[in-house]
A and B are shown apart, each in its own frame.
Chain A
Amino acid sequence: MIRLQNVRKRYPGAETDVLCGIDLTIDSHDFVSLVGRSGSGKTTLLNVIGGLDRAFEGEVRVAGHDLQALRDAEISDFRNLTVGFVFQAYHLLDHLTCRENVALAALFTRGESRRDASLVRSRADELLDAVGLQGAGARSPSTLSGGERQRIAIARALFNRPQILLCDEPTGNLDTETGREVVDLLSVLHREREMTIVAATHDEGIATAGVRVLHMRDGLLEVGDGSER
């Protein structure tokens, strides 16, 4: 499902590589936890996998796409349809309702059926349901708690039924209890929707929820770790 070969990246102006030749294969339906110290390059790696960052060297194939080779329209559609993103900072739009936030991807989906307003609405409500926020559709995200916001963000990531969910410290801003709920939600998604999930985290909870744990250090994935299959 996801295959990286010798992926290198250096931020402009930086003296060392953030990613120093990463080789990585993730199969369908894997739930991978990406752990590592702050600054080890987890966010960067997720951005590369999700097509949010294409300034890298090496080969990245995700769901059959060679990300470097895609044109803007194609990589945009890839982000729209194939991957879902959950950010540590939620990145919800407060001027829209929760329902509109969840349905945001529909604005950029090509094809007639996806634009059907009532379909979009019912899909959004279904997802709000799935994350346990059925009543929040008309509210602004700014009126929600952190955990609720992150669940809205997860619902948004799921809108177009992506095969892959990329989560960058989804519980980083949450207390342990709320973080646990989010982790449980991810586990359910993994089990019931058979999604491929990659979650970067400092959170032991997520790390143990994942069936596979990858350790990052200084831009490299550490091999030979006990949880590596």
Chain B
Amino acid sequence: MIGRGWVRTVMKDLVRHWKHFAAAAVGIVLGVAALTFFLALSLQVRDLLLVQIFPADHLEVVPKSADINLFVLRLDLGRDTLDAAVLKDLAALDGVDAVYPKMRLTVPAVASGGSSIFGAGMQTEIVADGIDPQLVAEELKDAFHDVDTGSRGTPCSRGAQCGEDAYCDRAGGSGEGVCRPFVPVLVSPYVVELYNGAFRRAYNLPKLNPDALVGLTFEMTFGASTFRPAARAPIRERMRFVGVSDRAIPLGVTLPLGNVRHLNLVLDSPDAGERYHSAVIELRSKDAAPGVIDAVEAMGLEIRDRGARRAALAMAVIMVVLAIVGFVLIAVAAAHIMHVFYLVVMVRRREIGLLRAVGARRSDIRRLLMSEAAVVGIAAGLVGVAAGIAAGAIADVLAASRLPDFPFKPESFFDFSPWLLASVVALAVVACVLGALPPAIRAASGDPSEALAGR
């Protein structure tokens, strides 16, 4: 039943009733245009948020429902950690260049010192974690690296004897000591902000310049607490600030990963040296972010971010709302198609009766009408998509000339991706065919004699 004659019949019918069909298609055109415009807009904005405005070339992966590590000195080691196998899986994901695990210090620690700044020595419980020095290699060069605190250093009597990165440790007295390396420490900009903005005022302390922090030293006692007796002999190290980094723990101090692992092993348990509380993923490219995020979530892990995903989620919600609006528009348009087709089959009642009289099956009649509807859908879909793209182009021109420049202002606010356009056209076709279905069924029902008599 598909032949040249058939196609010609459909086309002639369309030409013959073009006014009806044009009226029927108006709704579809508008719905498709709106859907194209808004979906392309939100696709582009979502892309912008995820890929450009937020630095999404790095992602931080945390176990699901892990506590944010604010003021928590001990982790529940039950399950809130990533183990080596998970890290391996993460590294194997498509689009992932490298995985840098972060390990939290699982024993309490007390920091003391600061008399050179504060006038008097301070002592405070402090949270610490360890990160792979590779992660900050670009920012801080060699300043941040694992140090070997275990081996016995050379004897000394003055700090100068030990070189730049070590000090002379004269534990307990003023006699002979040994050279021991400083453990490099990072803090996050947030810590500095918190200190300068709030903490400092409460204690009436001077304001800090983050750059001036570099080089300052202080002491940390690991495995010791001001309010709990230590189970094992605490370990004391001398720390030295080497910089401020976004990669550092938001509240607390960040040490080289190797040192934290060593401390956890010695002071906590062998296990504690193998559990990571999060991992930073380096993406091959920013564009890989959406795919990696999906894969990570499929693994039952979460992405910690700085609002990017919340923004993306908001975008997704907006997209869903727009899509629903578009669907409603198109559903209304489909109802309109239905009405027009009822009219068309009424006008063509005798003709359809004649076709039935010369041998058209009910299915032939249905197919004829639905082919016509499909052609209307394709045409309306294409016109609608073209209208949507045109509206987008106009909006872009207006944005370029009227909107002030802002960071990440894109050349185009629309992402008219081919799959979007194709699916919108497909939707138009589906809407038209579904809309024409009830009239087509009605037209094909009944005996030809009734239709021929005009009843």
Which residues of A approach B to under 8 Å, CB–CB?
47, 50, 52-55, 72-73, 76-77, 79-81, 85, 87, 91, 93, 95-96, 100, 103-110, 115, 117, 120, 156, 160
> Which of A50, A52, A91, A95 counts the most B-chain CB atoms under 10 A from its CB?
A52
* Contact (Cβ within 8 A) A95 B16: yes
What 1/0 mask marks residues of chain B from 350 to 389 whose CB sits below 8 Å from any chain A CB? 1101111111111110000000000000000000000000
- Please report which residues of chain B, range 1-47, place their CB below 8 angstroms from some CB of chain A when the two chains form the complex: 1, 3-6, 9, 12-13, 16
Known contacts A96-B12, A120-B5: A47-B449 contact under CB 8 Å: yes
* Contact (Cβ within 8 A) A85 B359: no
Of all chain B residues, the one with the shortest Cβ separation from A82 is B359
* Contact (Cβ within 8 A) B362 A107: no
Of all chain A residues, the one with the shortest Cβ separation from B447 is A53
Known contacts A53-B449, A80-B359, A107-B6: A91-B354 contact under CB 8 Å: yes
B452 in the interface (beta carbon within 8 A): yes
Known contacts A52-B448, A54-B447, A120-B5: A107-B360 contact under CB 8 Å: yes
* Contact (Cβ within 8 A) A72 B12: no
Q: Which residues on the A side are within 8 Å of B449 (C-beta)?
A: 47, 52-53
Of all chain A residues, the one with the shortest Cβ separation from B362 is A72
Main secondary structure of the interface of B (DSSP, over half): helix
Q: Which residues on the B side are within 8 Å of A77 (C-beta)?
A: 359, 361
* Contact (Cβ within 8 A) A85 B357: yes
The one of A52, A72, A107 that contacts B9, using a Cβ cutoff of 8 Å: A107
Q: Which residues on the B side are within 8 Å of A110 (C-beta)?
A: 1
Q: Which residues on the A side are within 8 Å of B6 (C-beta)?
A: 107
Q: Which residues on the A side are within 8 Å of B3 (C-beta)?
A: 107, 115, 117
* Contact (Cβ within 8 A) B354 A107: no
- Please report which residues of chain B, range 122-160, place their CB below 8 angstroms from some CB of chain A when the two chains form the complex: none
The one of A55, A91, A108 that contacts B1, using a Cβ cutoff of 8 Å: A108
* Contact (Cβ within 8 A) B354 A79: no
23 A-B pairs in the complex with CB atoms less than 8 angstroms apart: A47-B447, A50-B357, A53-B447, A54-B447, A76-B362, A76-B364, A80-B358, A80-B359, A81-B359, A91-B350, A91-B354, A95-B13, A100-B5, A105-B359, A107-B3, A107-B9, A107-B355, A107-B364, A108-B359, A115-B3, A117-B3, A117-B4, A160-B359
* Contact (Cβ within 8 A) B360 A108: yes
Of all chain B residues, the one with the shortest Cβ separation from A85 is B357
Which residues of B approach A to under 8 Å, CB–CB?
1, 3-6, 9, 12-13, 16, 350-351, 353-364, 447-450, 452
CA distance A79 to B1 in the complex (A): 16
* Contact (Cβ within 8 A) A103 B452: no
Min CB–CB distance B363 → chain A (angstroms) = 8
Q: Which residues on the A side are within 8 Å of B452 (C-beta)?
A: 52, 87, 91
Min CB–CB distance A161 → chain B (angstroms) = 13
* Contact (Cβ within 8 A) B448 A108: no
Min CB–CB distance A12 → chain B (angstroms) = 10
Known contacts A52-B448, A106-B5: A79-B355 contact under CB 8 Å: no
* Contact (Cβ within 8 A) B5 A79: no
* Contact (Cβ within 8 A) A108 B361: yes
CA distance A96 to B3 in the complex (A): 16
Main secondary structure of the interface of A (DSSP, over half): helix
Min CB–CB distance B233 → chain A (angstroms) = 93
* Contact (Cβ within 8 A) A108 B12: no
CA distance A77 to B9 in the complex (A): 20
* Contact (Cβ within 8 A) A52 B357: yes
* Contact (Cβ within 8 A) A107 B5: yes
Nearest first, the 4 closest Cβ-Cβ pairs linking A and B are A80-B359, A108-B359, A53-B449, A76-B361
* Contact (Cβ within 8 A) A79 B447: no
CA distance A108 to B452 in the complex (A): 18
Q: Which residues on the A side are within 8 Å of B447 (C-beta)?
A: 47, 52-55
Min CB–CB distance A149 → chain B (angstroms) = 13
Q: Which residues on the A side are within 8 Å of B448 (C-beta)?
A: 52-53, 79
Of all chain A residues, the one with the shortest Cβ separation from B446 is A55
* Contact (Cβ within 8 A) A109 B359: yes
> Which of B9, B356, B357, B362 counts the most A-chain CB atoms under 10 A from its CB?
B357
Min CB–CB distance A51 → chain B (angstroms) = 8
The one of A55, A79, A106, A160 that contacts B356, using a Cβ cutoff of 8 Å: A79
The one of B5, B363, B364 that contacts A103, using a Cβ cutoff of 8 Å: B5
* Contact (Cβ within 8 A) A108 B355: yes
Q: Which residues on the B side are within 8 Å of A52 (C-beta)?
A: 356-357, 447-449, 452
Min CB–CB distance B283 → chain A (angstroms) = 58
* Contact (Cβ within 8 A) B351 A93: yes
CA distance A91 to B352 in the complex (A): 11
Min CB–CB distance A203 → chain B (angstroms) = 21
Q: Which residues on the B side are within 8 Å of A87 (C-beta)?
A: 452
Of all chain A residues, the one with the shortest Cβ separation from B3 is A115
CA distance A91 to B453 in the complex (A): 10
* Contact (Cβ within 8 A) B364 A108: yes
The one of A55, A96, A108, A117 that contacts B358, using a Cβ cutoff of 8 Å: A108
Q: Which residues on the B side are within 8 Å of A54 (C-beta)?
A: 447
